Amino acid sequence: MLPQPWNTRSWESIAKKAQDYRDATIALIEPPLPDIEVLPLDSTPILKTILTPKELSITESDPANLVSQLSCGTLSAVQVTKAFLRRAGLAQKLVNCVTELLPTAAIERATFLDDYLKTNGKPIGPLHGLPISVKEHIEIEGLSCNAGFIAWNDRVPKANAHILDVLLAAGAVLYVRTTQPQTLMHLETSSNYYGVTVNPFNRNLSSGGSSGGEGALVGIRGSCLGIGTDIGGSIRSPAANNGVYGLRPTSYRLPMEGLSATMLGQEQIVPVIGPISTSLEGVKLFMKTLINAKPWIREPSLLPFPWRTESLLPTDPDGTKTLKIAIIWDDGVVRPHPPVTRALRTVAEKLKAVPGITVIDWEPYQHDYAWTIISSLYFCDGGSEEKAAISSSGEPWRPLSKFILTENQNVKKLSVTELWRWTEKRDGYRKEYANKWGDVDVILCPVGPGAAPLIDTARYWGYTSQWNLLDYPALVAPVTRVDPAVDGVETKYVPRNEKDAYNYDLYTPEKYAGAPVSLQWVGRRYDDEKIIEAVDYIKEKIGMPFAEFV
C-alpha cells in the first residue's frame, strides 16, 4: 500500500513515524544497546559503562590515525564501523542527535573496503574505511531528506550530494545521519520531528545549530569526522558548544550540489559546507581530500584552487615563524560572558610569551551594521519559502523560528532594486573591513556571547554571522570549560543595549557548569589553509591541550 501524502496526515503522526523509524535502525545494532533510565546532567561518563575498551579506543582515536591503521589493515573497516555504529546509537539515547543509523549499508560498504584492501594490497583512497557522519539535509540517494520541515517528509532524492560522492570515492563509510532544526536557521537544534538535541556535557544546554546533531555526535565521540553546513554559524556554533573543531571555509571551495533547503539559488549570503571533527588533523584531512579531488570539474561554480601544501606563515630571516594576531574581546554590541573572556585572556597571555608572535587588540568595525546587512539579505523573499514550508503541514513554530523570521525587523520582501542596493552595502562593507587588516595574519575572537546557551535562548548571531557576511574562513577550537568557582557574574556591568541586556541576564555560572568554551580563529578570504596551519602552530607553541573533554 502506498504511503498517504503528508497533507492527509497530522504532523504528529509524521513525526512519530520518523521517530519509530530512527529507533528501529538503532535496534539493529549488535550487540544491542541497553535502555538508560536515568540521565545525569553530564552524560559522557555513561559511555565507559556500556562500550567495550576496544570500542572506546577506536571511537576516541584521531581520524588521521584511524585512516593510517585502516589503510594498512591494523584495523578492519568492519571493526571500526561497528564501533562507531554502537557509539552513535548510544549517543542518540544520551543527547537525541540521530535521525537514523545506516547499519546494513555501512557494514556492507566496510566489508567491500576490507576485501578491496586484501585483494589489491592498497587502500581505495585517502579516507579508506573512515566512518563519516552526515547532517540530514545533505542528500543521500533513496533516503528521505526533510530539511527540518514536516511538510517535506516524503522528499526522497534520486542521487547523492556531490560531496558524498567525492568522500565515497575516497573510501569513506556513511553510517549515520544527524538532527537539524526547523528552518535550518537556528543556533540550536530543535524540530518537531525529534525535539531538542542537547549538550553532552550539560543536558540543560544547547548543542548548537543548525548542525547541532553533528556537533553533539562528534562531541560525544559517536563520530570523529562529520559534515555540517553554515550560513550564519551553523558549523562553528555546534563545534564550540560541544568542545570540538569546526571550519567554516571560504565559499565555493567545497561542493554544494545536492542539499535540501529553502531559498536555493540565492547568492547574497552563500552557505558553505564544512567539517566538524574531534581533531585539527581531521579538519585538514577533510579539506585536503575534497579539494584534491578537483570538485570544480563536476561543479563549475567552485573555485579551481588546489590545496596548498607549502607553509603560508611569514618567517624571520632566521626561520622563526612570525604571526600578528588581533583579538576581538567584545564586538561592541553584546559583551561575552566571563568564561569566554577568561578563555581569551588565557590564550592571549600564552601567545605573548611566544617569540615571533605579536598580539594586538582589534577594534570592531560596525558589527551592529553588519548584522543589519546580513539579516536583510538572509530572507530577500520576506521569508515566504520558510514560512510556507512550516505552515503548510500545520506543525507549530519553534521559538527560534519565530525569532529569526517574525521578530527580526529586517526580514522584508525586497524588490530587485532594493536587493541591488543591499548587495552594494554588503560589498562596500567587505571593502571597508578588508582595509583594516594591515599586517594582521589572524583574528582571534569569541564564537558566541557565551558558552553553550540554554535551550531556546541562542538569539545573538553576531560573533559568527559577521564572518559569513565578509566570507572569511573561520576555525573553531576548544579551550576550556565553564568553572563556577572562577567564572562569576560581572556584577557591576551596565548593559549597553537590549540585546546586551538579554545576554547578560542569561548568565549565572551554575547554569553553564561544565560547558565547553571555545574560540574562533579568523583569516582573510581564501586563507583556509593558512588558518589551519596557524592554529596548528599556535597549539604547539603555547602548550595548551585545547582540552580533550571525553
pLDDT at position 439 is: 97
Q: Are 465 and 353 in contact (CB under 8 A)?
A: no
- Quick check: helix, strand or coil at residue 316? coil
Q: Are 386 and 405 in contact (CB under 8 A)?
A: yes
- pLDDT at residue 185 tops 90: yes
Q: DSSP letters along 294-347, please?
A: -GGGTSTTS--PPPP-S--S-B-TTS-B-EEEEE-S--SSSPPPHHHHHHHHHH
- pLDDT at residue 1 tops 50: no
* Pairwise CA distance, residues 213 & 193, whole Å: 13
How open is the CA angle 241-242-246, to the nearest 5 degrees? 85
Q: Are 476 and 348 in contact (CB under 8 A)?
A: no
pLDDT at position 9 is: 81
pLDDT band, residue 316 (cuts 50/70/90): very high
Residue 509 CA neighbour count, 13 Å, CB half = 15
* Pairwise CA distance, residues 263 & 259, whole Å: 11
What are the pLDDT digits (tens) for 428-450?
999 999 999 999 999 999 999 99
Query: Is 148 annotated as belonging to a binding site?
Result: no
Mean pLDDT, residues 127-148: 98
Q: Are 471 and 251 in contact (CB under 8 A)?
A: yes
Give the number of other CB atoms < 10 A from CB of residue 254: 25
Q: Among residues 234, 375, 393, 465, which one is catalytic?
A: 234
pLDDT band, residue 544 (cuts 50/70/90): low
Q: What is the pTM of this model?
A: 0.97
The whole-angstrom distance between residue 53's C-alpha and the CA centroid of its chain comes to: 28
Amino acid, res. 15:
A
Contacts of 502 (CB under 8 A, 6+ apart): 459, 460
pLDDT at position 350 is: 95
54 is catalytic: no
% of the chain surpassing 70 pLDDT: 97
- pLDDT at residue 4 tops 50: no
Please check whether the domain covering 11-33+50-297 is classified as CATH 3.40.50.720. no
What are the pLDDT digits (tens) for 395-424?
999 999 999 999 999 999 999 999 999 999
- pLDDT at residue 492 tops 70: yes
Range with the poorest average pLDDT among 2-11, 87-96, 502-511:
2-11
Q: Among residues 133, 144, 206, 210, which one is catalytic?
A: 210
Query: Is 232 annotated as belonging to a binding site?
Result: yes
* Pairwise CA distance, residues 203 & 45, whole Å: 13
What are the pLDDT digits (tens) for 41-71?
999 999 999 999 999 999 999 999 999 999 9
pLDDT at position 3 is: 39
* Pairwise CA distance, residues 395 & 392, whole Å: 8
Mean pLDDT, residues 333-353: 97
Mean pLDDT, residues 158-173: 98
The whole-angstrom distance between residue 356's C-alpha and the CA centroid of its chain comes to: 32
Query: Is 243 annotated as belonging to a binding site?
Result: no
Query: Is 210 annotated as belonging to a binding site?
Result: yes
What are the pLDDT digits (tens) for 18-41?
999 999 999 999 999 999 989 999
* Pairwise CA distance, residues 498 & 369, whole Å: 16
* Pairwise CA distance, residues 231 & 9, whole Å: 32
122 is catalytic: no
Mean pLDDT, residues 206-225: 98
* Pairwise CA distance, residues 57 & 52, whole Å: 9
- pLDDT at residue 243 tops 90: yes
pLDDT at position 68 is: 98
Residue with cell 567545497: 254
Query: Is 184 annotated as belonging to a binding site?
Result: yes
Report the relative pairing of strands 131-135 and 225-230 from DSSP bridges: parallel
Q: Among residues 82, 135, 321, 530, which one is catalytic?
A: 135
Backbone phi and psi for residue 426, each to the nearest 5 degrees, phi listed first: -60, -50
Give the number of other CB atoms < 10 A from CB of residue 292: 14
Mean pLDDT, residues 344-361: 96
* Pairwise CA distance, residues 1 & 23, whole Å: 23
pLDDT at position 543 is: 72
Q: What is the CA radius of gyration of the chain?
A: 22
Mean pLDDT, residues 313-341: 96
210 is catalytic: yes
pLDDT at position 7 is: 53
For the chain, the domains span: 11-33+50-297
Q: Are 161 and 140 in contact (CB under 8 A)?
A: yes
- The answer for 106, left when phi > 0, alpha when psi is -120 to 50, beta otherwise, is alpha
pLDDT at position 545 is: 53
Mean pLDDT, residues 361-388: 97
Query: Is 328 annotated as belonging to a binding site?
Result: no
- pLDDT at residue 106 tops 70: yes
